[in-house]
Structure 1
């Protein structure tokens, strides 16, 4: 264990070592190629190559260098760890709001996700992010424990104009909260009157707020008090498959909205 940790430290302390090993694990490079690609001095590059040869991570090949089988193994493992740590760094500020038990996919699928958080100058940034997609989407599906006012407005306007189709599954508490507000209730009634919108209610818990706009999946993350803290969106195929399967399961188990049962 101690020896392995020291080798990890050996790589981690030098971005140039990581860059050289990454390139040699992909294909053969000459020393000149490596110098141009990394910007490392010849003296630094010479030390790196000697250290790698001593560890049998690289071999000389056709006037250049290439990774050995063990060099490729080290590169794959270290670069996987590096990727994980980069993702963790992105998620660290919002991980307390992520309903991880309800997410049926590896968090590494968030590698290319866009995370939007409120700021002093843009307190509504997470909502604005999702509204951008809703204004252009052809198909919208939602399962959620809350109905955002801005989303409801844009969805109602676009569905009424025949510009999008909408299906949503909401917890009963989410729909009751909308029904208790006169302005939101009018929008909800308008939405229910359109042929391109269908809403169902789930009496059980919906632990996560997810909106699928065409091929993009959005999560709205709230704290324990219901205050919106962030939005996360991604077009990752695995996340989209999870969202689609989860929506379908909720949809099948839910019942059509009965206006007479909503709060007044």
Structure 2
């Protein structure tokens, strides 16, 4: 646990962008105060005061008129830059991670180290959906494994095009999606039953996030509380690919083939 003095020093460094700018500049090369004044666009008085604060904390030493970062100062600077990077990552991936956490997806945090994120915005609310559709259309001849909590015209058309191009598709949906598909997308449901390239499973439990796997790519789709696709994260990172495959296998193991669900439903109705 950090000491009170450590907390005070962290607050001191974060308290002014000029302080981190000076530490960053010194970490590259030793400098004299006049050189720092030009580099960080601050007054000489401000620079001298900050250098005094750094010397008090033993982050820098003065030698031959120039200020040098100490090993402790180097470590403080590196840790602060890492913190800034993590905060930036949280800003970019926060919604994605939060929506998956709400859905109970247990997404591996290490997976956010690499990958591309497409996020819906007020200006482009369909950005994530459009990216997933693009990925589906690009799977010509590939084996595809997918999980979806929604059914849309765009998804159905993209899947149909992929099947026409020779793709093999395994898809997991939940019962609510199946009911919507039967009621609003009859031809697509019929094709899912008859096309040898398509295998559809129905989960008895609600599905709240999306997966899309083909070749060495894993795409994870986060949805908001209204089931709107908000973020599509795609990567070839092995951690995420393995997680996606494990999630798919787990969901398949608890799901029922579409043909069985339809047959049982027909018997019940009779």
Q: Say yes or no: TM over 0.5.
A: yes
Q: Flag structure 1 segments of 5+ consecutive residues without an equivalent.
A: none
1:19–1:219 Cα change, 3 Å:
farther
SS of match in other structure, 1:204: coil
Q: How much does 1:219 deviate?
A: 0.9
1:239–1:107 Cα change, 3 Å:
same
Q: Distance in 1 between matches of 2:161 and 2:111?
A: 36
The residue aligned with 1:253 is 254
Q: Distance in 2 between matches of 1:30 and 1:245?
A: 51
1:153–1:74 Cα change, 3 Å:
same
Q: Flag structure 2 segments of 5+ consecutive residues without an equivalent.
A: none
TM-score, normalising length: structure 1:
0.74
SS of match in other structure, 1:210: strand
The residue aligned with 1:149 is 153
Q: Distance in 2 between matches of 1:173 and 1:222?
A: 17
The residue aligned with 2:175 is 172
Residue-pair matches, total = 252
CA contact (8 A) 1:21 1:67 kept: no
CA contact (8 A) 2:111 2:240 kept: no
Q: Distance in 1 between matches of 2:26 and 2:118?
A: 33
**CA RMSD for the aligned pairs?**
3.7
> Does residue 31 in structure 1 map to residue 27 in structure 2?
no
Q: Distance in 1 between matches of 2:61 and 2:236?
A: 37
CA contact (8 A) 1:22 1:75 kept: yes
Which is higher, the Rg of structure 1 or of structure 2?
Answer: 2
Q: Distance in 1 between matches of 2:171 and 2:186?
A: 16
1:115–1:158 Cα change, 3 Å:
closer
The residue aligned with 2:8 is 6
Q: Distance in 1 between matches of 2:169 and 2:209?
A: 18
CA contact (8 A) 1:210 1:220 kept: no
Q: How much does 1:113 deviate?
A: 4.5
